[in-house]
Amino acid sequence: MNLLFFDKILNAPSHLKLALQRCGTTKRRYVNVLRPQLESPYTDLKVPSMDELRKRKNVLHPFMIEMCADLQPWEEDSSRRWKRIDKVYCGFELENFLFTSSHTRCKFPWYNDITVDRTFWEALLCIDEKRIGWLLDEHIDLWVWYMWYFRDSSADWSMVSCYFVTLLLQNSMPLFYATDEIYPIAWKNVEQVFIPINEPKQHWSLAHFHIKSGLVTFYDSEGYHEPETRPWYLNMRRCLECNLPAILEQTDVFGSKGINPVEYSIKFKNAHNIPKQGGIFGDCGVFVCLFLYRLVCL
């Protein structure tokens, strides 16, 4: 086994060799490098109630509107100015805020209904309690609303909260995500919907739902099991297969688009030739944000 592992290291890509050299057992503890084992992915899930989520309509306060005046759309920089993969670089502004500011809770100008604390920033910098640095629900939802804020009025997409699939798996029917009750435009007025997926305490991925064809395409930075055999993902697929047509029926998407519900069905496929996270480092949540940006902005 040791010889096999050594052979894999010798033949590994250069970026993995660098990571192993700089973050080996003598310099970094095991828990900081590899994903720790969890007792159960379903324990202690902090999911807001349906009523609470329905009230998140993002009615901006006048002060927030003023702050948004200077808000610029994000642009991806793939030049990798800092090429080290064993360190997290923190800008001066963020470092100054974290270590000298007395403010412990804050909001973002484009979304009024989420207040974050130090945990939010520590996870981004991988200095959270377990040094894992995984993105939280708040990170993904704030990014979703950021995409909504800069969405062109002529765009043909909608995007839902990371709680959408979680609620479906709990046998709830969050129809307000498919209407214009929460978001500026309803599903019946677009052609595609982007759905962040959170395997609890394990992994983030993204689903792209093309309404008319019923095709759901998965974007997963960690790769796929083909055919799919993982119990959680099989259950999630069954949930989407059953509930997406029901949502389309109950929100008049079928009628608006002239789709025959009797002949309609949900199909699945995996997207290939997409960015992949590293074998040692790399956060799946960051890749979900990257997928969303590239699919709707480029």
Q: Inform me whether the pLDDT recorded for 9 exceeds 80.
A: no
Cα–Cα distance, 38 to 41 (Å, whole number): 7
Helix (H, G, I), strand (E, B) or coil at 85: coil
User: How far from each other are the two terminal CA atoms of the chain, in whole angstroms?
Assistant: 45
Q: Inform me whether the pLDDT recorded for 15 exceeds 60.
A: no
**Which helix (H) or strand (E) covers residue 205, if one does?**
strand 203-210
Cα–Cα distance, 22 to 147 (Å, whole number): 36
Q: Domains of the chain, with CATH numbers? A: 45-71+86-297 (3.40.395.10)
Distance of alpha carbon 254 from its chain centroid, rounded? 28
Average pLDDT, the chain: 82
- Please write the tens of the pLDDT for every residue from 31-61: 333 444 444 444 456 778 888 888 887 777 7
Q: Decide: 224 and 218 in contact? Cβ < 8 Å.
A: yes
Strand order in the sheet with 157-159: 157-159, 192-199, 203-210, 215-219, 267-270
SS in 3 state form for 135-203?
Answer: CCHHHHHHHHHHHHHCCCCCCCEEECCCHHHHHHHCCCCCHHHCCCCCCCCCHHHCCEEEEEEEECCCE
- Please write the tens of the pLDDT for every residue from 223-249: 888 899 999 999 999 999 999 999 999
pLDDT category, 24, cuts 50, 70, 90?
Answer: very low
Per mean pLDDT, which of 16-25, 116-125, 259-268, 276-285 is the most reliable? 259-268
C-alpha angle with apex 297: 296 to 298, nearest 5 degrees? 105
Q: Inform me whether the pLDDT recorded for 7 exceeds 60.
A: no
pLDDT attached to residue 31: 38
Q: Decide: 270 and 216 in contact? Cβ < 8 Å.
A: no
Amino acid, single-letter form, for residue 80: R
- Please write the tens of the pLDDT for every residue from 240-295: 999 999 999 999 999 999 999 999 999 999 999 998 887 555 579 999 999 999 99
Across the range 100-126, mean pLDDT stands at 82
Rg over CA atoms, the chain: 21
Distances (CA, A) of 229 to 82, 205, 225, 226: 38, 16, 7, 8
pLDDT attached to residue 72: 87
Cα–Cα distance, 169 to 250 (Å, whole number): 18
Which two tokens mark 266?
């949900």
Q: Inform me whether the pLDDT recorded for 30 exceeds 70.
A: no
pLDDT attached to residue 28: 40
Distance of alpha carbon 262 from its chain centroid, rounded? 32
